[in-house]
Chains A and B, each alone.
Chain A
Amino acid sequence: MTPLVRIEDLRVRFRTAERTVHAVNGVDLSLMPGEVVGLLGESGSGKSVTLKALLRLLPEARTTMSGRMAVAGQDVMALGGSALRAYRGSVVSMIFQEPMLAFDPVFTIGEQIAEAVRRHENADRTAARARALEMLDRVRIPSAKRRLDAYPHEMSGGMRQRAMIALALACRPKLLLADEPTTALDATVQIQILLLLRELQKEFGMGVIFVTHDIGVAVEVSDRLAVMYAGRIVERGSARDLIRAAAHPYPRGLLASTVHGAMRGRRLDAIPGAPPDLAKVPDGCAFAPRCRFADAECVSRRPDIVRIDAGHEAECRRLDAVAASAEG
């Protein structure tokens, strides 16, 4: 089976008058059809930028991109003009973090879904509206018919995110990009949206790249996880691999600093220091300055990717020392 998504050595730089930011520094990622990959990392780790690069949404004037990206057999880097517009929304679509901001405030929800259908399927107004209604039903918005004519500000946060999902899935994309879709929602609504996404993903058989900074959420929805740090994937594996046997010090630190596994009365282990300034790419491991296992070589030379198990890899030179410290 050929992968749905294949990203090789993706690099993204943003240039402004004062400085250059190296947001993504060599990301390799592939995704099989129908697979859900969770992209995990803190703010500024390059996870959202990777998603936007897949849709070529980054402002062209200020962005330099290199590497290869292929989705469903199309060379994403080479797309332009009408081919790029035909690709956006029909092959790949996106759910945004804040649906209140991602919907146009002066058009109704129905109009905005129908617009995408008309754009990609040459449907007339009636057919596009019928599809919009069908989609609102699919994401289980109550009294969908009435909601079709509602404006975004007339709906609750959870309903808006459901409508956003309806919009994203209206043209049956092969790949869905979800950019922290539950971060702006209440905890109870979060779970409903996650369950809905998981269910629709199975039903539509799409591949999903799910970006989040919340490990709990990532584990809930993903088949595989990839942890990003300073624009690189530092560890990847099945959700199970990462939760039970994270190898790289950064994901281990992340796990130790979440409330999920912690005991009442014990201090949470925070990762010391702050994420690096991405004005220049470090020569060695970007995590080295915050890592208690790092030695001189970690700082000067980029570590190789170490294969731990089938499909479980980490980019670290000191895996043995890390593992030993866990046992000791």
Chain B
Amino acid sequence: MLQYFLKRVLYAIPIALGVSLVCFALVHVAPGDPLASVLPPDASLEMQQLMRTIYGFDRPLPVQFALWLWRAFVGDLGVSIATGRPVAGEVWHAFGNTFMLAALAAAFGFLVGGLLGLLAGYYRGGWIDRTASTLSIAGISVPHYWLGMVMAIVFSVQLNWLPATGAGPGGSAAWSWDWEHVRFLILPALTMSAIPLGIVARSMRALVGDILSQEFVEALRAKGLSERGIFAHILKNAAPTALAVMGLQLGYLLGGSILIETVFAWPGTGFLLGNAILQRDLPLLQGTILVLAMFFVILNLLVDVAQTWLDPRIKRA
């Protein structure tokens, strides 16, 4: 198992390198001179040359990439053009916020979606199945920015139960785990959970139906197991595939949602990305995408390892 784990980690390294290459290339692929946004339009040629040397743009591309990679590796993602603050700090802060949101949305979506899917698959054709299918299709197909606005209108404007925007009272940036702060999480997290809930419910339903139609379920009944005992078998059979679906969904959630975070003014990575794009803040864009992509790579690695651990049929060689 340890050997397999190490092997998978080794496989992840070229993927991570490829991803960073794409991130690095962003600056050079994007139209226009990357210096154009820093320098005034009437800057002298010497000035331009000087800046080019300072930023290292005069060196060959592979050297630039190696330097950039090394700095990113030690945690230096450059400086935001718009705010002048280090990108790493900005991204880290935003990522913390998105992580909270994603974790809550995932916990809710996976739990409710998984349970709905399990029941729907088990009682296929019954009222639970029909209700669950309607809910999950609605969750997948309703545009979530619209859902977010409706939620805000109902729960903030009409009922005045929960705040509509921000991440803390009075727009404060400091987070703490008390009701005053947590209530800001609820609406965006619920909105965000709609899609993973629907997708997890639908895949779970299909999975359970597939497992139930296999002959071993009849054999389990024949040896006298109770329905609860059979349920345990269904769960373990469904776990590897369910895990893969959930891992992928968690990856999307961690990427943050530009739309949802904008609707609720939640200061996460999606919000940050949105701003970086609008302000053409290339270092910030580069840094955010790099961090998110790395998380995706790590998450996939973890899902792969967990899947192998759960399903004996996947070779550990």
Contact = CB atoms under 8 A, between A and B. Distances in A.
Interface of A: 55, 57, 82, 85-90, 93-94, 96, 98, 101-108, 115-116, 119-120, 151, 153, 167
A116 B215 contact: no
Nearest to A55: B222
Contact of A88 (B223, B236, B310): B223
A115 B236 CA distance: 15
A87 B224 contact: yes
B226 A85 contact: yes
Given A101-B215, A104-B233, A104-B237, A93 B222 contact: yes
A88 B224 CA distance: 5
Contact of A116 (B223, B236, B311): B223
Given A96-B219, A98-B215, A119-B229, A105 B224 contact: no
Contact of B222 (A88, A103, A106, A151): A88
Most central of A57, A103, A106, A119 by chain B CB within 10 Å: A106
A105 B220 contact: no
B222 A119 contact: no
Most central of A82, A90, A96 by chain B CB within 10 Å: A96
A105 to B, nearest CB: 6
B146 interface: no
28 contacts: A57-B218, A57-B221, A85-B224, A88-B224, A89-B225, A90-B224, A93-B223, A96-B219, A101-B214, A102-B218, A102-B219, A104-B216, A104-B220, A104-B233, A104-B236, A105-B216, A105-B312, A105-B313, A106-B236, A106-B237, A106-B311, A107-B233, A107-B236, A108-B312, A119-B223, A120-B224, A151-B313, A153-B313
Contacts of A115: 223, 225, 229
Interface string B110-139: 000000000000000000000000000000
Contacts of B226: 82, 85
Contacts of B225: 85, 89, 115, 119
Nearest to B224: A89
Interface residues of B, number: 20
Contacts of A102: 215-216, 218-219
Contacts of A82: 226
Contacts of B311: 106
Nearest to A101: B215
A57 B223 CA distance: 11
Contacts of B236: 104, 106-107
Ranked nearest first, the 5 interchain pairs of A and B with the lowest CB-CB distance are A89-B224, A89-B223, A88-B224, A101-B215, A102-B219
Contacts of A94: 219, 222
A143 B91 CA distance: 57
A107 B237 CA distance: 9
A116 B223 CA distance: 6
Contacts of A88: 221-224
B224 A116 contact: yes
Most central of B218, B229, B236, B313 by chain A CB within 10 Å: B218
A102 B224 CA distance: 14
A23 to B, nearest CB: 16
Nearest to B219: A102
Contact of A89 (B222, B233, B310, B313): B222
A115 B226 CA distance: 12
A210 to B, nearest CB: 16
